[in-house]
């Protein structure tokens, strides 16, 4: 139920996509929103943490407004815990919007690409469908990873699959056959399984690993077998160029 004081114009919820880590990839539109917003909100995975998205704007040299809302978004698959935290976060944001303040939610990468913003947006709109939402697009991690590797993800009519590595090895095995390029996100918990699959498929030499693209700690690993047994960062992905032949620039029949 919307508890806003209707004598006060409700603020807007603005999703500011910041790119994967390099503050130079913040778009002009997102920059303007950050500069003018009376309130910033951002996700954290621990109550004492600063948050990765917040770190991007700090590296950009932007000064936060007087109103800030760090929101606890725990790294868990427990649906009950997640729903409770989304509800708490939505209530905090909605209370600020109802004061007439715009709230800019800071997002690493792009707001529409495997981002926490979708959960917050749905929960807030369930509480108050009248909330005005603006989504500012940004650079996603696969694009930043491809740029770091200096190799395009696809050309011509080549096909591209982008999936979480947690979809399972059987499904990934099929994708490696059906697509010219496969990008695996969220690879940390299944890294060794993916490496074994690539070795079996004789694709290890066609894979690259990218960690925290655009941040001061970014890594590009072209010999992916060196990663076996390593506890990599959560913000990691793998790009596999399954077919390195010339792109078909014509139309497939």
252 vs 205, higher pLDDT? 205
Residue 87 falls inside a structural domain: yes
User: pLDDT for 42-71, tens place per residue?
Assistant: 998 764 456 899 999 999 999 999 999 999
Domain boundary among the residues 136, 167, 184 is at: 136
- Predicted structure pTM score: 0.88
Q: Are residues 226 and 187 in the same domain?
A: yes
Q: Are residues 109 and 171 in the same domain?
A: no
Q: Which two tokens mark 243? A: 């077919």
User: pLDDT for 129-166, tens place per residue?
Assistant: 999 999 999 999 999 999 999 999 998 889 999 999 99
Pick from 156, 89, 152: nearest CA to 117? 89
What gap in Å lies between CA 11 and CA 37, rounded to an integer? Answer: 10
Q: Is 80 exceeded by the pLDDT of residue 185? A: yes
Pick from 131, 140, 79, 86: nearest CA to 112? 140
User: pLDDT for 194-220, tens place per residue?
Assistant: 999 999 999 999 999 999 998 889 999
Quick one: pLDDT band at residue 4, thresholds 50, 70, 90? very low
Q: Is 80 exceeded by the pLDDT of residue 253? A: no
Q: How far is CA 77 from CA 81, 121, 165, 198, 210, in A?
A: 8, 19, 15, 27, 24
Residue 1: predicted pLDDT: 44
Q: Is 80 exceeded by the pLDDT of residue 84? A: yes
Domain that holds residue 177: 141-241
* Torsion angle of the four alpha carbons 169, 163, 21, 196, in this order, in degrees rounded to the nearest 10: 20
CB contact at 8 A, 161 and 167: no
Residue 46: predicted pLDDT: 60
Q: Is 70 exceeded by the pLDDT of residue 2? A: no
Mean pLDDT value of segment 77-97: 92
Domain boundary among the residues 105, 136, 167 is at: 136
Residue 185 falls inside a structural domain: yes
What gap in Å lies between CA 175 and CA 186, rounded to an integer? Answer: 16
User: pLDDT for 225-250, tens place per residue?
Assistant: 999 999 999 899 999 999 865 544 44
Domain boundary among the residues 84, 106, 136 is at: 136
* Torsion angle of the four alpha carbons 78, 80, 81, 82, in this order, in degrees rounded to the nearest 10: 80
Residue 73: predicted pLDDT: 84
Quick one: pLDDT band at residue 5, thresholds 50, 70, 90? very low
Residue 4 falls inside a structural domain: no
Q: Are residues 120 and 145 in the same domain?
A: no
User: pLDDT for 163-180, tens place per residue?
Assistant: 999 999 999 999 999 999
């Amino acid at each position: 139920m919307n508890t806003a004081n209707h004598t006060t114009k409700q603020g807007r919820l603005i999703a500011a996509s910041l790119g994967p880590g390099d503050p130079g990839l913040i778009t002009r539109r997102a920059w303007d929103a950050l500069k003018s917003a009376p309130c910033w909100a951002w996700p954290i995975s621990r109550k004492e943490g600063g948050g990765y998205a917040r770190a991007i704007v700090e590296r950009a040299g932007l000064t936060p407004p007087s109103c800030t809302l760090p929101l606890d978004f725990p790294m868990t698959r427990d649906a009950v815990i997640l729903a409770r935290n989304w509800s708490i976060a939505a209530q905090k944001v909605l209370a600020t919007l109802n004061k007439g303040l715009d709230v800019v939610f800071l997002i690493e990468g792009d707001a529409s690409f495997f981002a926490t913003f979708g959960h917050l947006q749905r929960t807030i709109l369930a509480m108050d469908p009248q909330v005005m939402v603006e989504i500012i697009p940004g650079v996603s991690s696969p694009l930043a990873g491809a740029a770091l590797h200096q190799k395009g993800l696809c050309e011509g009519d080549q096909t591209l699959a982008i999936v979480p590595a947690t979809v399972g090895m059987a499904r990934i095995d099929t994708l490696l056959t059906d697509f010219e390029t496969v990008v695996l996100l969220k690879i940390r918990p299944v890294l060794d399984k993916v490496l074994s699959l690539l070795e079996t498929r004789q694709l290890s030499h066609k894979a690259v690993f990218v960690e925290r693209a655009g941040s001061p700690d970014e890594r590009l690993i072209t010999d992916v077998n060196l990663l076996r047994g390593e506890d990599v960062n959560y913000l990691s992905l793998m790009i596999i160029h399954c077919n390195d032949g010339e792109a078909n620039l014509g139309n497939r029949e």
